């Protein structure tokens, strides 16, 4: 299905800045040469530019690549800038990123253990 990112088994975020002029071939080359990962895997790769209001997502669908592009009109992504490497993230962290939150939350509600009533 065209652009169905839910089929991705893994998600990797390219920390730092990415030249947003790069197209499919350029981003796939970054994945392969700079990050030493396989762009033809069932993995979603996320890239963000310097302004942090634009994001590209690269996904191999088995018969070709899908390149998704999102530009925020109001606000910016809380993109990790402290590294120039690639980092695996969870689907929950991806949702936080899309909601304008940081992928590393300082606090979260922990699952409760089953217990008795008062």
Q: What is the pLDDT of residue 102?
A: 84
In a domain, 84, yes or no: yes
In a domain, 63, yes or no: yes
Q: How many domains does the chain have?
A: 1
pLDDT tens profile 26-73: 999 999 999 999 999 999 999 999 999 999 999 999 999 999 999 989
SS3 96: helix
d(CA 9, CA 16): 23
In a domain, 73, yes or no: yes
In a domain, 60, yes or no: yes
In a domain, 83, yes or no: yes
pLDDT tens profile 75-118: 888 888 876 688 999 999 999 888 888 888 766 666 777 776 66
pTM beyond 0.75: the answer is yes
In a domain, 44, yes or no: yes
In a domain, 112, yes or no: no
Q: What is the pLDDT of residue 13?
A: 95
Q: What is the pLDDT of residue 100?
A: 85
Torsion angles phi and psi, residue 95, rounded to 5: -60, -45
- Range(s) of the domain holding residue 46: 7-98
Q: Which residues contact 79 (CB under 8 A, 6 or more apart)?
A: 13, 15, 48, 52, 97
Q: What is the pLDDT of residue 91?
A: 92
Reading phi first (left if > 0) and then psi (alpha if -120 to 50, else beta), residue 33 is in alpha
Instruction: Provide the terminal-to-terminal Cα distance of the chain, rounded to the nearest Å.
Output: 51
């Amino acid at each position: 299905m065209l652009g169905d990112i839910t089929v991705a088994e893994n998600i990797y975020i390219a920390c730092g800045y990415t030249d947003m002029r790069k197209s499919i071939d350029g981003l796939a080359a970054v994945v392969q040469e700079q990050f030493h990962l396989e762009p033809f895997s069932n993995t979603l790769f996320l890239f963000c530019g310097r302004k942090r209001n634009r994001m590209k997502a690269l996904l191999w669908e088995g018969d070709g690549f899908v390149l998704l592009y999102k530009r925020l009109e109001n606000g910016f992504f809380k993109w990790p800038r402290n590294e120039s490497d690639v980092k695996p993230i969870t689907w929950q962290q991806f949702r936080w990123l899309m909601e304008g939150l940081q992928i590393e939350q300082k606090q979260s509600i922990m699952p409760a253990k089953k217990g008795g009533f008062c």
